[in-house]
Amino acid sequence: MAESMQGLHRTCRCAEVAAEPAGSQVTLMGWVARARNKGGIVFVDLRDRSGIVQLVFEDGSIDHEGFEKAGRLRSEFVIAVVGTVEKRLGAVNPGLVTGEIEIRVGQLRILSESQVPPFPVEENSRTKDEIRLKYRYLDLRRPDLQRNLMMKSRVAMLTRQFFAGEGFLEIETPMLGKSTPEGARDYLVPSRIHPGSFYGLPQSPQLYKQLLMCSGYDRYIQITRCFRDEDLRADRQPEFTQIDMELSFVDVDDVIDVNERFLAYLFKEVLDVEVPLPIQRITWQEAMDRFGSDKPDMRFGMELCDVSDLVRDCGFAVFTGALEKDGSVRGINAQGQGGMPRKKIDKLVEFARGYGAKGLAYIAIGADGARKSSFGKFMKEEEMDALVSALDGKPGDLLLFAADKTKLVCDVLGALRLELAKQMGLLDKNEYRFVWVTEFPLLEWSEEENRYTAMHHPFTMLMEEDLPLLDTDPGKVRAKAYDIVLNGNEIGGGSVRIHQNEIQEKMFEMLGFTKESAYEQFGFLLDAFKYGVPPHAGLAYGLDRLVMLMAKTDSIRDVIAFPKVKDASCLMTQSPGKVSPEQLEELGLALAAENAEE
């Protein structure tokens, strides 16, 4: 029978015992990670969230009954022990903080027993995801996940501490409310009291935080949950956490300044990593031109090079054809990859096709300088020389070219650049390279909807000098929007907001809202702006992604206690689930699908 812990008080956690001098008495509680019965002596690794310590049970040091009980211990039993800290007699374990000591146990209580767990609770588990997620409460006992969640807790604590020190107020905004357009579908919550009406769960607190600025709170922060019903994508979560902020009387530089000091503080405190300030800034245009991506990974070079002018009159129709259609020809240099076997190059071509390219042209330069090329026969020698020198091709390099519409060329080479970096081992998880990407386009043309949509959201301010372009060439208008990018991941983004009613109305017009429809959705914000609105700007980080990078793991699920899988379901609780007909009736809802079946 499970014993109680009455009369016992835990003196410290398992790994904290390392700080106790030999000879001290400790009371520890935790889970049995491993039990080894060696006849007259039983060794147990005791685990809690701090780590592991070795327990020794020896007939004589503990009474005979206690020793027999120790013999029954199995993995995941929860126990309490009272014992003495001793220097290890056997081999020390340099991999453990407690590797030089052990606890000689004088008293043992079994607080609860465990069935044989469906998988071993161990670091870097190789058990299938589905099983681990079904038994998430066991999975969460694994030391790597425990470290991640402890790190996340610390990041949240330091975030609050830092921003409080900068005069930010933490203010809650509703979960049941009117949702903000952030480009995804809303999760809806039906109202019982107002049958037929729905709340939207927030895709972000955007509207509320702007209203808080109107109300004079001038620096707001919140660590809050956001909900986005997006199409299925691996490693996306329908609910996730943002560090969300908004500031009054500021422009781009002010937001960037406080945030880069925050990042430097956070990385120093949590990882002991120095982030050199100021963080580099590049414009969106430059990011696209140089890296083919608006979230460039700056840990390595391999920059895109526009060679359109060098091939304008060449004899290779793929190149000239793309240029005639206003496209471009660009290349990258995969240094030292000139010896890549043909099969592997073909794989890269396949990869590029996955991104919409019709093909890839290449020049492989041998160690002796001899060139092999997929299109050399269409080119003059000097044209080939010019291409090689434009890409700074040296013996042993592989030059890859794409020709098409410029956007597609950038996408393809941007993706290829990353793929090659992966293959070439250029992505060091211990290196943290930040970059601000600024001056995003304000609008994006949507082929589907045949109209402009907001690239960030409809409240984003444009660069003052681009105001005249709004009427003449809207696609060229740059926004006062910025993203903070870490190792090729967008970890945060924000913008200066429109605080002038005329510009906001114009913006809605561009986005295809009528005056009425804009009012219907955002009337309260537009009204608020009539009563004295300060210039304001803000930013939000994806906390989960940020911690994922800090914890050097590849999956966002590793930093969320109870994550959902790709189809937005939870394997442990089996949510979402059906509800009773009574519940539906109360809400005034009927299921179309079931009615159809009847």
Stretch of 61-69, 140-148, 407-415, 491-499 contacting ligand ASP, by CB under 6 A = 491-499
Q: How far apart are CA 370 and CA 376, in angstroms?
A: 12
- Do residues 545 and 560 lie in contact, with contact meaning Cβ atoms separated by under 8 Å? no
Smaller CB separation from ligand ASP, 298 or 491? 491
| Angle in degrees, CA 133, 138, 142, rounded to 5 | 100
The reply to whether 173 sits near ligand ASP by the rule CB under 6 A is no
Q: Kindly write out the interface string for residues 449-488 of this chain, putting x where it contacts ligand ASP by CB under 6 A and - elsewhere.
A: ----------------------------------------
Name the closest residue to ligand ASP (Cβ): 204
Q: Which amino acid is at 577?
A: G
- Give the contact letters, 2-21, x = binds to ligand ASP (CB under 6 A), - = no: --------------------
Q: Which is nearer to ligand ASP, 182 or 419 (CB)?
A: 182
Cis status, amide bond into 581, omega within 30 of 0 = no
Select 206 or 335, whichever has its Cβ closest to ligand ASP: 206
Nearer to ligand ASP, 33 or 547 (CB): 547
* DSSP code at position 78: E
CB of 229 to ligand ASP, least distance (A): 15
Residue-wise DSSP of 380-439: -HHHHHHHHHHTT--TT-EEEEEEESHHHHHHHHHHHHHHHHHHTT---TT---EEEEE-
Per-residue tokens: 293? 């991506």
Q: Which is nearer to ligand ASP, 226 or 387 (CB)?
A: 226
Q: Which string of DSSP letters, residue by residue, matches 47-72?
A: EETTEEEEEEEEBTTB-HHHHHHHHT
Q: Which region among 342-350, 405-413, 426-434, 492-500 touches ligand ASP (by CB under 6 A)?
A: 492-500
Stretch that binds ligand ASP, among 364-372, 439-447, 493-501, 560-568 (CB under 6 A): 493-501
If the CB atoms of residues 264 and 461 are measured against ligand ASP, the closer one turns out to be 461
The rounded radius of gyration (Å) of the Cα atoms in the chain is 30
State the first-to-last Cα distance of the chain, in angstroms, to the nearest integer.
52
> Which CB, 213 or 547, lies closer to ligand ASP?
213
Site for ligand ASP in 176-205 (CB under 6 A): 182, 204
Which of 183, 581 has the CB closer to ligand ASP?
183
Q: Which is nearer to ligand ASP, 204 or 487 (CB)?
A: 204
Between 59 and 182, whose beta carbon lies closer to ligand ASP?
182
Helix, strand, coil proportions of the chain in percent (round to 5)? 35, 25, 40
User: Minimum Å distance from CB 257 to ligand ASP?
Assistant: 16
Q: Which 241-260 positions form the footprint of ligand ASP (CB under 6 A)?
A: none
Among residues 226, 218, 221, which one has the least CA distance to residue 177? Answer: 226
| From 148, 173, 206, 333, residue interacting with ligand ASP (rule: CB under 6 A) | 206
User: Which residue lies nearer to ligand ASP by CB, 96 or 455?
Assistant: 455
Distances (CA, A) of 301 to 55, 140, 327, 367: 52, 38, 24, 21
If binding means CB under 6 A, how many residues of this protein chain bind ligand ASP?
9
Of 75, 224, 293, 495, the one binding ligand ASP (CB under 6 A) is 495
Give 113: exposed, middle or buried? Use CB within 10 Å, 0-12, 13-18, 19+. middle
From residue 539 to residue 578, what is the string marking binding to ligand ASP with x (rule CB under 6 A)? xx--------------------------------------
Is 455 or 528 the residue whose CB approaches ligand ASP more closely?
Answer: 455
- Least distance in Å: CB of 286 to ligand ASP? 22
Give the per-residue contact string, 60-99, with ligand ASP (x = CB under 6 A; - = no).
----------------------------------------
Q: In this structure, are residues 273 and 285 in contact, taking their beta carbons and an 8 Å threshold?
A: no
Q: Residue 276, preceding bond cis, omega within 30 degrees?
A: no
Residue 426 one-letter amino acid = L
What is the C-alpha separation between 273 and 489, in angstroms, rounded? 18
174, 206 contact by CB (below 8 A): no
- Residue number, 238 or 494, with CB nearest to ligand ASP: 494
37 beta partners: 42
Instruction: Judge contact between 339 and 396, C-beta under 8 A.
Output: yes
Query: Which residues neighbour 587 within 8 Å (Cβ) at sequence distance 6 or greater?
Result: 190, 191, 192, 195
For the bound state, the minimum distance from the C-beta of residue 89 to ligand ASP, rounded and expressed in Å, comes to: 57
**493 near ligand ASP (CB under 6 A):** yes
Phi, psi of 414 (to 5 degrees): -60, -45
With H, G, I as helix, E, B as strand and everything else as coil, classify residue 536: strand
The span of 66-74, 312-320, 417-425, 538-546 binding ligand ASP (CB under 6 A) equals 538-546
- Nearest distance, CB of residue 186 and ligand ASP, angstroms: 14
| Cβ at position 3, least distance to ligand ASP in Å | 51
Q: Is 237 in the site for ligand ASP (CB under 6 A)?
A: no
> How many residues belong to the chain?
598
578 CB contacts (<8 Å, ≥6 apart)?
none
Name the site residues for ligand ASP (rule: CB under 6 A). Answer: 182, 204, 206, 493-495, 538-540
